[in-house]
Amino acid sequence: MTMLNPDFAEELKQFSEDSALACFNCGTCAAICPLIDSHFPRSMIRYVQIGAKERILEAATELWKCLHCGLCTQTCPREANPGEIILGLKRLVLDHWRKS
């Protein structure tokens, strides 16, 4: 069972800008992403919103598929900056692995 961490968004501020809560899950980022994974990067943004840190760590290798093309950030209607959040999640995962 996945444990939700209500402090996760706060923790992520060390590694990324604090914009995930602006996301309203429209799916534009997932539709425009050249990776053509049906839910990426929206799924990761949603995990941040609900504090599902364990899920992010379990799926961490998916983060490294990101090309940092910026299309998701350019097209996000809420300025949630999903591309920057993905970059921040990479930093968080590296920090987690370094400490474990």
Question: Distance (Å, rounded) from C-alpha 84 to C-alpha 73?
Answer: 8
Nearest to residue 12, comparing CAs of 69, 99, 84, 73? 84
Report 17-46 residues binding ligand SF4 (CB under 6 A).
Answer: 23-29, 32-35, 41-42, 45
Q: Is 48 near ligand SF4 (CB under 6 A)? A: no
Considering only 2, 68, 96, 97, the residue that binds ligand SF4 (CB under 6 A) is 68
Q: Which is nearer to ligand SF4, 4 or 69 (CB)?
A: 69
